[in-house]
Amino acid sequence: MLEMMRRILGLIIIAALVFLALALWQGGSPFRWFGKKSEQAAEVIKKKSEQAAEKADEIKKKTSDIKSTSKEVREGVKKTEEKIREISGSKSDKE
């Protein structure tokens, strides 16, 4: 636990030094570049997540259609089975 805290503290110190060095050396241009690239990445992620959501909606619709169709088929089979039993009669009914 203590070792992990040392590593995190070390990373924070290194990040602060890198920030200070970049700020002194090049000003704000690296940070503006990073901000622009982050926005572009966010747009791509947003588009791809929308496409994934649309595909998920399509899959859900297809599965619900399949469920409703299979339910209708089961009900039809049960009705057919009942009609066949009415027509032919079972051994227990005849006795």
Structure tokens at 15: 């990040």
Please give the pLDDT value at position 14: 95
Residues 28-48, buried b or exposed e (16+ Cβ, 10 A)? eeeeeeeeeeeeeeeeeeeee
pLDDT category at 92 given cuts 50, 70, 90 is low
pLDDT surpasses 70 at 93: no
What does the domain layout of the chain look like in residue ranges? 7-86
Instruction: Report d(CA 23, CA 18) in Å as an integer.
Output: 8
pLDDT of residue 90 exceeding 90: no
The tokens 């572009």 sit on which residue? 40
- What pLDDT is attached to residue 88? 82
Tell me the one-letter amino acid at 83. K
Q: Is 90 helix (H, G, I), strand (E, B) or coil?
A: coil
Other C-beta atoms lying within 10 Å of the C-beta of residue 22: 15
* Model pTM score: 0.48
What is the tens place of the pLDDT at every residue in 4-57?
999 999 999 999 998 888 888 888 888 888 888 888 889 998 898 899 889 888
Instruction: Give the pLDDT confidence of 9-20 residue by residue, as tens digits.
Output: 999 999 999 888
